[in-house]
Amino acid sequence: MSLVYPASETVSSGLVDKFTRRVQLTGGSTFVVSLPAEWVKAVGLKPKQELYIVPQSDLSLLVLVGGKESELAEGLVNAANCADGEEALREFIANYIAGYDSIKIKCEIGDFRHRLKSQVREKLIGVEIVEETSEYVVIQCLHGDVDLPLNKALRRMALLVTAMLQDSVRALLTLDSQLAEEVINRDDEVDRFAYYIFRQLNRSLLNPVLIQNTGMKNIREFMPFTILVRSVERIADHATQIASSARELQGIELDDKVVEQINRLATNSQSLFERSMDAVYTLDPKGANDVIRGVGQILNIEENLTQLLFASKLDAKSVSLLRLGLESLRRVAEYSADICEVVVDVSVSSKLRLNQQGAD
């Protein structure tokens, strides 16, 4: 799910890189800057038309032409060109993330259409069927909810993932296949928030006025935020992998020492994830570096556990499934370190911008 638009949508306007203007003082208190004629012609600006002037966190100003909504044309998914329902669903999600306000699905009435509509409702936030005929369905993608800024959506994702990790490990140790199935199903809820966040970021790239609705200060924050969301999403995938291993394991009895060490590994991995998110919320580089250093201990515990499993009387399939679970717990720790590297990078960048502003 790339957040980068095709070159055709980001072509150069043909204008020079920058214009220089002198500030004029009129009326004793009003500062005036003339607009470049080339830019006025390029954007089709008319007399008395409104301009949006948006202050940026670096003290620069973003100038946008008012009265023009940067809406994409209607998205299209032609089911006849898709190999199966999964491909059609992927095409729809790609259109949703791209920022289309409405998406038309061309497909005939039947089980295929019914399943696709159900999957779209389950996997995406803010979608609603507004038109349906024998040949197509039009689904409206509602605009972002101001009550769900992106940092709040990320927090909800993290809470879901924390619970998934706890329950997946419990399912693994108790061989509770029903609990494992519940964890696997929760992965869709995490994806819903991720897709929502990526959609809002893309819409803001198309129309910078929308940035204020995301809770972000400027576009510079988009890339690190995207990395954070991706990392949390990957941790959810590994919680799902642990649950999948738990669902497959049947009729075995784990040695007390193995159970103890799995609990230790899980507790430490979960702690690193929770601490990494705390570092995100507080922009704490010291706490972030502590998490990064903690990954080494996870590697040692995993190695010792692997030796215990090889020395146990478990069959090869059970050992393989358990090792997949251990590997996922290690990956949770490593993705937590990735999250913390973003915190350190953002912290340094913030200090650099403050220093530059002070120098100015």
Percent of the chain with pLDDT over 90: 64
User: Rounded to an integer, what distance in angstroms lies between the CA atom of residue 214 and that of residue 200?
Assistant: 7
Q: Indicate the DSSP class of residue 141.
A: E
Question: pLDDT for 133-172, tens place per residue?
Answer: 999 999 998 876 566 889 999 999 999 999 999 999 999 9
pLDDT of residue 1 exceeding 50, the answer is no
Report the pLDDT value the prediction gives residue 72, as an integer from 0 to 100: 62
Q: CB neighbours of 300 closer than 8 A, spacing ≥ 6?
A: none
pLDDT of residue 213: 78
Cα–Cα–Cα angle for 298, 301, 302, rounded to 5 degrees: 85
List, as own/partner pairs, every contact residues 161-165 make where C-beta atoms lie below 8 angstroms and the sequence separation is at least 24, other chains included.
161/190, 161/232, 161/235, 161/236, 161/239, 161/273, 162/270, 162/273, 162/274, 164/190, 164/236, 164/239, 164/240, 164/243, 165/235, 165/239, 165/242, 165/266, 165/269, 165/270, 165/273, 165/332
What angle do the packed helices 222-248 and 316-359 form, to 10 degrees? 170
Which is nearest to 168 in space by CA: 262, 250, 255? 262
Asked if 97 and 68 count as a contact pair (C-beta separation under 8 A), the reply is no
- Quick: pLDDT tens for 161-220: 999 999 999 999 999 999 999 999 999 999 999 999 999 999 888 887 788 778 887 888
Cβ burial 126-163 (10 Å sphere, 16+ → b, else e): ebeeeeeeeebbbbebeebeeebbbbebbeebbebbbe
Does 264 have pLDDT greater than 80? Answer: yes
Residues 283 and 347 sit within 8 Å (Cβ to Cβ): yes
Residue-wise pLDDT tens digits, 47-97: 888 888 877 766 788 887 775 555 567 899 999 899 898 999 999 999 999
Q: Are strands 75-78 and 102-106 parallel, antiparallel or unpaired?
A: parallel
Q: How far apart are CA 198 and CA 166, in angstroms?
A: 27
For the residues 281-299, what does the mean pLDDT come to? 97
pLDDT at 360 over 90: no
Percent of the chain whose pLDDT exceeds 70: 89
Report pLDDT for 109: 85
6: pLDDT confidence band, cut at 50, 70 and 90? Answer: very low
Residue 236 has pLDDT above 90, yes or no: yes
Integer Rg of the chain from CA: 25
Say what the pLDDT of residue 28 is.
80
For residue range 326-354, what is the model confidence (pLDDT) as tens digits? Answer: 999 999 999 999 999 999 999 998 765 54
Q: Among the listed ranges 72-86, 117-131, 237-251, 284-298, which one has the minimum average pLDDT value?
A: 72-86
Distance, in Å, from the CA atom of 245 to the CA atom of 319, rounded to the nearest integer, reads 10
Alpha-carbon 321 to chain mean position: 29
What is the arithmetic mean of pLDDT over 24-28?
Answer: 85
pLDDT of 7 > 60? The answer is no
Q: What is the mean pLDDT of the chain?
A: 88
Q: Are 279 and 311 in contact (CB under 8 A)?
A: no
Given pLDDT bands bounded at 50, 70 and 90, which one contains residue 13? low
Per-residue pLDDT at 250: 83
Q: Is the dihedral of CA 264, 265, 271, 275 positive or negative?
A: positive
What's the whole-model pTM score? 0.83
According to CATH, the superfamily of the domain at 150-359 is Phosphate transport system protein phou homolog 2; domain 2 (1.20.58.220)
d(C-alpha 255, C-alpha 313), whole Å = 9
Residue 355: band (very low, low, confident or very high) from pLDDT cuts 50, 70, 90: low
Non-local (6+) Cβ contacts of 262 within 8 A are 169, 172, 173, 254, 305, 322, 325, 326
